[in-house]
Amino acid sequence: MKTKKILVMGVSGCGKSLIGSEIAKALNIPFFDGDDYHPEANVKKMAQGIPLGDNDRCGWLTTLNELYRTNDSAVIACSALKPAYRDVLRHNNSDLLIVYLQGDFETIWSRHKQRANHYFNGEAMLKSQFDALVEPHADEALFIDISQDVDSVISDSLSAIKEAWDE
């Protein structure tokens, strides 16, 4: 079987967990939500409205990279906001396919406000993610517009992945 390693990336609230889990289900491969692997100190910071810095993310990204290295195939949802973060995830995973869930602040903030019981909270926190975001280059990722309904986002993602793998 061809190795299938997929990173579903984007700012908080863009749908990484939902879309990533649906992609994994459709492809019959394991799904890992990067949020589940944050150390407790990171979760506490975010719950207090304190954005994470590069040092906070270092060990977390290494942990996610290990998930790719220990699974022949996997979908991981992770913000991967900066090229350096994506480089950590790609280390020893040269076949990693990146799906970027792209949306504007207003769309994502309206979805954020509907979330219940999530530690990542607040408009300032979301703004900090947009400020930190360095969008991938067109040749680095598959760009998926999240302004459409969930089923369309899933369908577009799966079509783009199939097309990328068929090349």
| Of 33-37, 99-103, 111-115, 139-143, minimum mean pLDDT range | 111-115
Domain CATH for 25: 3.40.50.300
pLDDT tens digits for range 59-109? 999 999 999 999 989 999 999 999 999 999 999 988 899 999 999 999 988
Confidence label for 116 from pLDDT (cuts 50, 70 and 90): low
Average pLDDT on 148-153 reads 96
Distance between CA atoms of residues 165 and 37, nearest Å? 28
Domain with 99, as residue range(s), is 4-166
Q: Which residues, 6+ apart, have CB-to-CB distance to 126 below 8 Å?
A: 11, 12, 13, 105, 108, 109, 112
**Contact by Cβ (8 Å): 121, 100:** no
Q: What is the pLDDT of residue 52?
A: 81
pTM, full prediction: 0.91
The tally of domains found in the chain comes to 1
Q: What is the pLDDT of residue 1?
A: 46
